């Protein structure tokens, strides 16, 4: 009797599901209907901050970019253009920048935007008391390091508002990438009066004062952020009237896919990839062919190699490991993730990169290289450890490498995983430097300049606080340090190209793939093209094809 | 009763201190800190952050300072992750949501569970009884992470009757409340049924019937009231776990409760938030247990606290 009741219950549930599947559901029909207003609803997670001086993460930045703007910006071709700066001049020695602001710039509360707001923001962000994570991007400015590291007076920073519309910036030494930095959020102006009046709470919806194309109407924590078009904005008027960022918990990708399918969202986000199982289903479903889209990202995933280990010091061994991987299969069949196979470290858009210099996949060649290095058919090669932070995607990657390297090179791999924060810390501990072999790494451009890769990551002076792979090359260091200050663009790219050749020759780390953003976008959402750098949702360009 | 209550309330203090100390020790022992980020934070920045949040002081001083700020000012400190928000803001914004969800689920679960329990006891060994108990077994065995998504598939994606997620409108509460109510409903149905069956066989019920009291009166005043005593014990403990343990349901249905902080505060090493949430939940469970004990005295005249 009991068994019968159970069967009945299960049957009922199954019947309901079948009914649901057959009907396709009214919500599924509604979901394809265009809305009648210029409103966009997208998922997000709770932004840690909306203060441009403190922001470090994608979630915060995706909102901040809509609310604030700075002096200059760059397009995807790498051309600089003025935003609040109408024009600017650079002194012959490359150490003084003079920016002229546009006329008629206004904050959302009606205050004019002045050069003093920039001066205030930079001095506030560099002050150690502000404790800004990204304070070091201000380092090229005169005295910035002395203020930040040695406690000098923040008022000595090399930035000065000569008048309301003229900002003069002194640099410590010429820095060819300074405009790239000046385009980032740490250099945005800030409303001093709002910050001084409300303190840490100045970013709440009722206090915040902004200067971008949108303003913050409401921020219901853990529920939604509502952005509306800013009517005091100087620039072109966005078509979109309102954007609603629905806040989901972290790791709730399944939920926002469901909400998208039920018509509660108009697009998904670039902040997190679609869950692999859902992505598989959606990619193969003809109804979603026009809605699932991929965009390039300025980011590379790779395997960090510990150059302190004697058996990994030989470039032939590193190449053998890299050449044995089948990246196409890894992406499409194993990780089931959007991306483009990478044979080199620097992604598209970074000047100086030369992917052709890097060796390409070739299992036969990989075996030969390993034999030349003294390990024919993997004989005598020690067991390697691959370490990753605990996550399904990296576990799958580890299992693939384990199997692949065993099959092709007869090398044994041990997998080791750690909780996220433990992993991050471990990279600077003896557990890695003395005992580690390989770990999963990756880098996302903060700004699309070669400096952000060649200097920030691979200069041997930076390595110990970055990926800590232990690779260093004096010739390389000299090249990228010269390129940093080289003001002639062509000569600068040539220097980075020489540096790239050294990276390729040494095959310092093992490239895996360049990231792509994979998002769901309803057919009625037009011009949804996220930026290559950090995947900004381009609210100013998006339009809704209304009924 | 007054003295008993006072003693129980005072007993909260050592419990509370123990929870504080244990949580603090665990946080200290866990490797990795709040400023370990994917893009390494420069040393100068880490030092500035440590100074700002007082993490540069000796551990014993951090232990005492935080305790003092909580006890004297009821200030749980700033959140390290949400810059500009305090733990007090977070608790004040999101605990009421968890509480509402928990109370609604308990109300639905208790009503459903007790009704099913009584009905199946009265219709003992009939198909109604079997059906109700099948539900009870199902409710206990099938976890929320199966029921929740299943409800979304059927009622939100399939039939389109209800939204998949969110909080604030009544229709958004239906699925999370149902999911969360399932376990208490199932458990209480079984407890009520067992208790009712026992009580219905008791001598005083026969006496009441023999006196000629109407059936409904016998049932409600004599049988049910006595049968509810064990049920209240279970319900009280359940209430504590439902309010504090709803984080999975909050996650699935995107309910902005405190539950998500249990996970994110740990992964972000947001020590003050972690401490605030733990202390609040510990207090909630302790208070709930106290309420149950008080309720006993009301329901069962034999229980007296002197």
A129 DSSP 8-state letter: G
Nearest to B254 among A129, A131, A249 (CB): A249
Quick check: A210 and A107 in contact, CB under 8 A? yes
B38·A424 Cβ contact <8 A: yes
Single out the residue of A372, A404, A368 nearest to residue A386, CA to CA: A404
Contact B276, B87 (CB under 8 A): yes
Chain B residues whose CB is inside 8 A of the A9 CB are 134-135, 138
**Radius of gyration of chain B from its Cα atoms, rounded to whole angstroms:** 24
Indicate the helix (H) or strand (E) that contains A161. strand A159-163
Alpha-carbon distance of A127 to A122, in angstroms, equals 9
Q: What does the pLDDT average to over A22-26?
A: 41
Residues 230-259 (B) with a CB less than 8 A from some CB of A: 250-254, 256
- Rounded distance between C-alpha atoms, residue A316 and residue A320, angstroms: 6
Using alpha carbons only, give the angle A323, A325, A330 rounded to the nearest 5 degrees: 150
Of A231-240, A425-434, B140-149, give the lowest mean pLDDT range: B140-149
pLDDT higher at A252 or B305: A252
Judge whether residue A389 has pLDDT over 60.
yes
Rounded to the nearest angstrom, the minimum Cα separation between A522 and chain B is 17
Which runs of consecutive H residues, i.e. helices, occur in B123-202?
A: 127-141, 144-151, 170-200
* C-alpha A181, offset from chain centre: 15
Rounded-to-integer distance, Cα B157 and Cα B135, Å: 24
Give the per-residue pLDDT at B233.
Answer: 79
Question: Tell me: the pLDDT tens digits for A335-348?
Answer: 999 999 999 999 99
Whether B116 contacts B108, CB under 8 Å: no
Question: Which of A52, A80, A214 shows the shortest CA–CA distance to A138?
Answer: A52
The average pLDDT across B182-196 equals 92
pLDDT category at A4 given cuts 50, 70, 90 is very low
How many residues are given for chain B? 306
Residue A202 has pLDDT above 80, yes or no: yes
SS3 B270: coil
A319 in Cβ contact with A495 (< 8 Å)? no
Structure tokens at B54: 């007082």
What pLDDT, on a 0 to 100 scale, did the predictor assign at position B303? 72
Which tokens is B202 given? 């008791």
Residue by residue, DSSP assigns A215-265 as: EEEEEETTTEEEEEE-TT-SSPPPS--EEEEEE--TT-HHHHHHHHHTTS-
Residues from chain B contacting residue A251 (CB–CB below 8 Å): 251
Which chain B residues touch A13 with a CB distance below 8 Å? 150, 154
Q: What whole-number distance in Å separates Cα of residue A47 and Cα of residue B9?
A: 39
Q: Is the pLDDT of residue B300 over 80?
A: no
Q: How far is CA A142 from the centre of its chain?
A: 28
Interface test with A, best of B48, B89, B190 (most A CBs within 10 A): B48
- Minimum Cα–Cα distance from B263: chain A residue: A250
In the predicted model, is pLDDT for residue B153 greater than 70? yes
Apex A158 CA angle, A155 and A163, nearest 5: 85
Of the candidates A187, A189, A188, A191, the one whose C-alpha atom is nearest the C-alpha of residue A171 is A187
Percent of the residues in chain B that have a pLDDT greater than 90, as a whole number:
52
Q: What is the mean pLDDT of residues A505-524?
A: 96
Angle, helices B271-299/B2-29, rounded to nearest 10 degrees: 150
Shortest alpha-carbon distance between residue A438 and chain B (Å): 17
Longest dimension (CA), chain B: 86
pLDDT category at B270 given cuts 50, 70, 90 is very high
Among A76-90, A219-233, A451-465, B34-48, the range scoring the smallest mean pLDDT is B34-48
Rounded to whole angstroms, the Cα distance separating B177 from B109 reads 9
CA distance A17 to chain B (A): 6
Q: What is the mean pLDDT of chain B?
A: 89
What pLDDT sits at residue B250?
92
Residues 6+ apart with CB under 8 A from A511: A300, A302, A322, A342, A343, A344, A345, A358
Phi, psi of A313 (to 5 degrees): -75, -25
Taking residues B210-232, what's their average pLDDT?
83
SS3 A36: coil
Among B145, B256, B266, B274, the residue to mutate for chain A (most A Cβ within 10 A): B256
Q: How confident is the model at residue A99 (pLDDT cuts 50, 70, 90)?
A: very high
Residue A503: band (very low, low, confident or very high) from pLDDT cuts 50, 70, 90: very high
Determine the Cα–Cα distance for residues A117 and B145; give it in Å rounded to an integer.
50
Contact B157, A25 (CB under 8 A): yes
- Beta strands A384-389 and A438-444: pairing type? parallel
Angle made by CA atoms B287, B289, B293, in degrees to the nearest 5: 115
pLDDT at A29: 40
ipTM of the modeled complex:
0.89
Beta bridge pairs of residue A106: A112
For position A5, what pLDDT does the model report? 40
Residue B44 to residue B50: CA distance in whole angstroms: 10
Structure confidence at residue B48 as a pLDDT band (50, 70, 90):
confident
Which single residue is written with the structure tokens 């219901």? A220
* Residue count of chain A: 547
Confidence at residue B66, expressed as pLDDT on a 0 to 100 scale: 93
Look-up of token digits 């995983």: A417
- Beta-strand (E) ranges in A32-121? 39-44, 72-74, 80-82, 85-90, 96-101
- What integer pLDDT is reported at residue A351 of this predicted model? 93
Q: Is B216 on the interface with A (CB under 8 A)?
A: no
Nearest CA to CA, how far is A57 from chain B (Å)? Answer: 10
Most B-contacting residue of A25, A135, A225 (CB-CB within 10 A), to test interface: A25
**Which DSSP helix (H) or strand (E) runs through A506?**
helix A489-506
Confidence of residue A24 (pLDDT cuts 50, 70, 90): very low
**Across B185-195, average pLDDT:** 92
**Please, what is the average pLDDT of chain A?**
91
Tell me the pLDDT band of B306, cut-offs 50, 70 and 90.
Answer: low
State yes or no: pLDDT of A123 exceeds 50.
yes
Q: What does B37-61 look like in DSSP terms, one character per residue?
A: -SSPPPHHHHHHHHHHHTTTS-HHH
Average pLDDT score over residue span B225-251? 82
pLDDT at position A27, please? 42
At residue A481, the pLDDT reads 95
pLDDT over 90 at A378, yes or no: yes
For residue A105, give the DSSP letter. Answer: -
User: Over pLDDT 70: what percentage of chain A?
Assistant: 94
Burial of B190 from C-beta contacts in 10 A (0-12 / 13-18 / 19+): buried
Residue B114 CA, distance from chain mean position: 19
pLDDT for the residue numbered A19: 43
Q: Report pLDDT for B228.
A: 84
Per residue in A267-312, pLDDT tens? 999 988 999 888 889 999 998 999 999 999 999 999 999 999 999 9
> Residue for token digits 């990279």?
A427
- Cα nearest neighbour of A125 on chain B: B45
* pLDDT above 60 (res A30): no
Summarised one tens digit per residue, pLDDT across range A138-195 is 999 999 999 998 889 999 999 999 999 999 999 999 998 999 999 999 999 999 999 9
B95 and chain A in contact, CB less than 8 A? no
Find out whether A189 and A117 touch, Cβ atoms under 8 Å: yes
Which of A19, A148, A422 faces B44 most closely, judged by CB atoms?
Answer: A148
CA distances from B72 to A31, A196, B23, B159, B272 (A): 53, 27, 20, 53, 16
**Where on the phi/psi map is residue A231: left (φ > 0), alpha (ψ -120 to 50), or beta?**
alpha
Q: Do residues B106 and B242 make contact, with C-beta atoms less than 8 angstroms apart?
A: yes
Per-residue model confidence (pLDDT) at position A32 = 57
């Amino acid at each position: 009797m009991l068994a019968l009741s159970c069967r009945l219950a299960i049957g009922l549930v199954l019947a309901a599901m079948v009914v649901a599947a057959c009907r396709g559901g009214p919500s599924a029909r509604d979901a394809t209907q265009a809305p009648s207003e210029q409103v966009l609803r997208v998922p997000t997670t709770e932004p840690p901050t909306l203060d441009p001086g403190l922001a470090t993460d994608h979630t915060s930045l995706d909102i901040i970019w809509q609310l604030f703007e700075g002096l200059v910006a760059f397009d995807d071709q790498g051309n600089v253009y003025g935003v609040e700066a109408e024009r600017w001049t650079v002194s012959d020695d490359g150490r003084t920048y003079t920016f002229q602001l546009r006329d008629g710039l206004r904050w959302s509360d009606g205050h004019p935007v002045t050069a003093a707001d920039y001066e205030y923001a930079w001095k506030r962000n560099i002050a150690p008391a502000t404790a800004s994570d990204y304070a070091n991007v201000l380092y090229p400015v005169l005295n910035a390091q002395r203020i930040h590291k040695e406690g000098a007076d923040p008022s000595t920073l090399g930035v000065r508002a000569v008048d309301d519309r003229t900002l003069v910036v002194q640099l410590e030494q010429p820095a060819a990438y300074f405009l790239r930095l000046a385009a980032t959020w740490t250099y945005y102006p800030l409303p001093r009066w709002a910050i001084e009046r409300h303190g840490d709470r100045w970013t709440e919806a009722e206090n915040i004062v902004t200067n971008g194309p949108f303003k913050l109407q409401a921020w219901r924590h853990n529920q939604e952020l509502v952005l509306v078009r800013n009517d005091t904005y100087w620039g072109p008027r966005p078509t979109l009237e309102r954007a609603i960022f629905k806040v989901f918990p972290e790791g709730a990708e399944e939920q926002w896919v469901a909400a998208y399918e039920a018509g509660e969202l108009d697009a998904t986000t670039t902040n997190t990839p679609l869950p692999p199982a859902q992505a598989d289903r959606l990619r193969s479903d003809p109804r979603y062919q026009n809605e699932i889209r991929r965009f390039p990202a300025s980011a590379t995933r790779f395997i960090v190699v510990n150059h302190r280990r004697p058996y990994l010091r030989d470039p032939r061994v590193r190449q053998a490991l890299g050449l044995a991987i089948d990246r196409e299969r890894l992406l499409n069949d194993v990780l089931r993730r959007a991306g483009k196979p990478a044979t080199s470290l620097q992604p598209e858009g970074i000047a100086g990169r030369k992917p052709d210099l890097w060796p390409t996949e070739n299992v036969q060649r990989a075996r030969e290289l390993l034999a030349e290095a003294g390990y024919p058919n993997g004989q005598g090669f020690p067991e390697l450890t691959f370490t990753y932070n605990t996550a399904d995607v990296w576990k799958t990657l580890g299992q693939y490498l384990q199997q692949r390297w065993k099959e092709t090179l007869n090398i044994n791999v041990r997998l080791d995983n750690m909780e996220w924060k433990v992993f991050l810390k471990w990279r600077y501990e003896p557990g890695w430097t003395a005992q580690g072999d390989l770990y999963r790494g990756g880098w996302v451009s903060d700004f699309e300049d070669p400096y952000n890769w060649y200097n920030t990551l691979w200069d041997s002076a930076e390595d110990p606080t970055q990926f800590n792979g232990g690779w260093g090359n004096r010739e390389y260091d000299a090249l990228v340090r010269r390129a940093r200050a080289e003001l002639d663009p062509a000569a600068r790219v040539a220097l980075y190209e020489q540096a790239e050749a050294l990276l390729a020759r040494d095959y310092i780390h093992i490239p895996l793939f360049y990231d792509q953003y994979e998002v769901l976008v309803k057919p009625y959402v037009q011009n949804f093209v996220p930026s290559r750098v950090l995947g900004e949702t381009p609210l100013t360009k998006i339009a809704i094809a209304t009924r | 009763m007054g003295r008993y209550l006072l003693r129980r309330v005072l007993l909260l203090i050592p419990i509370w201190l123990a929870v504080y100390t244990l949580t603090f020790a665990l946080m200290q022992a866990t490797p990795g800190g709040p400023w370990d980020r994917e893009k390494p934070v420069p040393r100068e920045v880490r030092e500035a952050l440590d100074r700002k949040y007082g993490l540069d002081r000796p551990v014993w001083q951090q232990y005492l300072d935080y305790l003092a700020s909580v006890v004297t000012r009821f200030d749980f400190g700033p959140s390290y992750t949400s810059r500009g928000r305090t733990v007090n803001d977070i608790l004040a914004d999101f605990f009421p949501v968890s509480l509402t969800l928990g109370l609604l689920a308990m109300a639905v679960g208790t009503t459903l569970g007790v009704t099913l329990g009584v009905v199946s006891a009265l219709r003992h060994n009939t198909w109604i009884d079997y059906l109700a108990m099948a539900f009870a077994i199902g409710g206990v065995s099938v976890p929320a992470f199966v029921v929740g998504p299943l409800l979304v598939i059927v009622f939100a994606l399939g039939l389109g009757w209800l939204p998949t997620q969110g909080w604030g409108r009544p229709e958004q509460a239906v699925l999370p409340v149902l999911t969360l109510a399932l376990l208490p409903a199932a458990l209480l149905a079984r407890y009520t049924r067992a208790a009712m069956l026992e009580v219905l066989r008791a001598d005083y019920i026969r006496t009441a019937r023999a006196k000629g009291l109407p059936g409904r009166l016998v049932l409600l005043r004599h049988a049910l009231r006595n049968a509810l005593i064990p049920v209240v014990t279970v319900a009280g403990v359940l209430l504590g776990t439902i309010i504090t343990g709803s984080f999975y349901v909050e996650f699935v249905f995107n309910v902005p409760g405190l539950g998500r902080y249990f996970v994110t505060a740990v992964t972000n090493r947001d020590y003050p938030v972690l401490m605030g949430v733990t202390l609040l939940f510990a207090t909630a469970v302790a208070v709930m247990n106290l309420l149950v004990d008080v309720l006993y005295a009301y329901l069962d005249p034999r229980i007296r606290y002197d």
